[in-house]
Chains A and B, each alone.
Chain A
Amino acid sequence: MSSTVIPSGELGQQAEESNYLNVKHTIASWLLTGDHKRIALLYLVSTSFFFFLGSIAAGLIRYELTSPAGVVLESETYNKVFSSHGILMVFTFLVVAIPAIFGNFLVPLMIGARDLAFPRLNLASWYMYMTGGTLILAGMIFGGVDTGWTFYTPYSSMYSNGQVTMVIIGIFIAGFSTITTGINFVVTIHKMRAPGMTWFRLPLFIWAMYATSLMMILATPVVAITLLLVVYERTFKLPVFSPELGGDPVLFQHLFWFYSHPAVYIMILPAFAIVSELIANFSRKRIFGYHFVAFSSLAIAGLGFLVWGHHMFVSSQSMYESIVFSLISYLVAVPSAIKIFNWMATMYKGNIRLQSPMIYAIAFLMIFTVGGLTGLFLGAAGTDIHLTATYFVVAHFHYVMVGGTMLAFLGGLHYWWPKITGRMFSDGIAKVNAVIVFVGFNLTFFPQFIVGWLGMPRRYHYYYFAPEFQAYHIMSTLGATVLGLGFILPAFYLTMSLFTGPKAGPNPWGAHGLEWETSSPPPTSNFTETPIVMDEVYDFDPVSDHAKDLKDIEERNRRRSEEGYCGSEDDN
């Protein structure tokens, strides 16, 4: 939205002198910072580290499954590896990554605030996250944990010999980090909007972030106390969830999924947040049905609390409750469908610039559609019976988590990279990488749908008794190799851009939004003066834009060729 900034001299030049990156250089100035942008970068580094570890575990799993009788690992090690993969990816990456990196960086910028409401709490939440993450890692190094990320009792509480207690306490602490982040966002969005920034002028990113925070705040404590009870059981040998004293193991699943289903939306809603921004800004068009998209986020958050039971159709849950959960699961599919169609409609008659973030967004749309639709198989109680806990489920949630969240994460990273670092990367390589990720991803996970439908159970180390599954596993492993390349490449070319990339300027994409009104990288206090918002959100005019674009492109290409810039930038 082209908010009117009261002009006060040359914005860009002022920011050249001091921005949040170069204002101080000591390590202490980073580790004790209250600046939401610096904390976002701390999160970027730390979540990337955990993502890297989780990916190594994923690679090991895929390698091990190429042979029906395993390749290098013992069953016990394999179980620890897949548990580590799940725990690291879910609790230290997916739940945290987009809210803590992009949310932290962008929420104040997008609403025209100087910082989040509680900067010290924000820093504390990073320390909680690191403490939790360190404990989780320590648990995995000193003994490992072999319960899967779901910690189903009574296996986790009475039988497993791993470092379950340490890992659970790590998750507990990391959980509080997401709660505090959520509190910070809610208060900031409610109380710190710039003058004129009404609710319906908020970018859709903020709406989705608000919905995410809502679930973080209200669902996380349930899993925290549930996991704490598992520790209680392990420590005092006191079965709360196992039947020796009359407890019920299924109760654990109820409480666990009461968090973990909303957690799925905690992972995917931020992805919606990013994709809404990308589609609007690269189609140079106001999001179609802004209100519908905004409220569908809240609807997903609300309904997300009512569908946990669809994870438990075969767990001896009551048949009637299963049917109710199945019905609500079908209802929750509708808001997601609304979003998809609205994004498509936004592209219609747009002025689409196929730059790398948009390629990621388009890939997201296609992959998430498949991920969402296969959810229908699992939401219908009858069809879920055969498919639950098979590779079909594995493929489904990877389509949502990797194909959805991860692609949106990459798209967002490319989109806001110039804002975060002040440098442009090579868009050509980035586009090639988007294609690599798309191909690798589908090759990895599509065969898993089929092998799951054939009946390959998840969390299986061996399948020598069913060698017919092998072909699909080999395809999947091949795809994972390609996908791995797609994750490694950005680390190189984005890092390279820090040193060789051209200066980005405040608004390299020609995007709308308060974050693009300030310099890149932004100054510590975000805006030199508090912006006053007067225009509507995503206030593009495709027709006049089109004419202006053609001239801009011509101008930029001419300048680039004069400077000898070698990235392929003539994509518009």
Chain B
Amino acid sequence: MASQTSHSHEHHIVPTSTYLLTLILLVLLMLATVWAASFNLPAIGPFSGTVVNQMVALIIATAKALLVIMVFMGVRWSSTLAKLWVASGFVTLILLFGILGDYTTRHYEHQHGWEARPDGSLPRSTPDEEVVPPINANDLNVKIRQ
């Protein structure tokens, strides 16, 4: 059995300075993302400014996450097997985001009758008898809850 294990108890001790530097980098990145969020960034190509803003925030977040994973969690120094399993969760997560493929390729909009009332009360809590005149032609005024 021992043949297959890379003996990790000859462990790698990372100097404090590395950790401290990482922490400083992380805090700086955090400040950078707050700072970047205070601007309305311009649109780039097909992406609207909103998307660009969000992309910047997420790229910084990913950078921070990578720092934490690589340095703090020590993946940089761990076995290939551990690296594979680190990746597996995130890869599967990307597959999960494949669900978005459905929402981007179909009409996804709720009909009016289904939204809760403008006064904020949930439609299911309104009395049955109440008949609300149609808001527009497409309104079905469906009763939500008996």
Contact = CB atoms under 8 A, between A and B. Distances in A.
Contacts of B1: 113, 191-195, 530
Given A191-B4, A194-B1, A222-B96, A244 B115 contact: yes
Nearest to A198: B4
A246 interface: yes
B89 interface: yes
Interface in B61-119: 81, 88-89, 92, 95-96, 98-99, 101-106, 108, 110, 114-116
A190 B5 CA distance: 9
A306 B95 contact: yes
A2 to B, nearest CB: 20
A248 B103 CA distance: 10
Interface residues of B, number: 29
A306 B106 contact: no
A218 interface: yes
Residue among B81, B104, B106 with most chain A CB within 10 A:
B106
A309 B114 contact: no
Contacts of A319: 105-106
B102 A321 contact: yes
Given A191-B5, A309-B102, A530-B1, A246 B110 contact: yes
Contact of A246 (B88, B98, B105, B115): B115
A549 B123 CA distance: 77
Contact of B116 (A219, A245, A250, A309): A245
A254 B92 CA distance: 15
A113 B99 CA distance: 41
B145 interface: yes
A251 B102 CA distance: 10
Interface in A111-148: 113
Contacts of B140: none
Which 10 pairs show the lowest CB-CB distances between chains A and B? Answer: A318-B106, A318-B105, A320-B105, A218-B92, A321-B102, A254-B99, A243-B114, A318-B102, A305-B95, A321-B101
Contact of B99 (A244, A245, A258, A316): A258
A429 interface: no
Contacts of B116: 244-245
B101 A324 contact: yes
A158 interface: yes
B144 A318 contact: no
A218 B89 contact: yes
Contacts of B122: 237, 244-245
A255 interface: yes
Nearest to A250: B102
B105 A244 contact: no
A317 interface: yes
B96 A193 contact: no
B4 A244 contact: no
A466 B102 CA distance: 36
Nearest to A190: B81
A545 B18 CA distance: 63
Nearest to B114: A243
A317 B144 contact: no
A572 B42 CA distance: 80
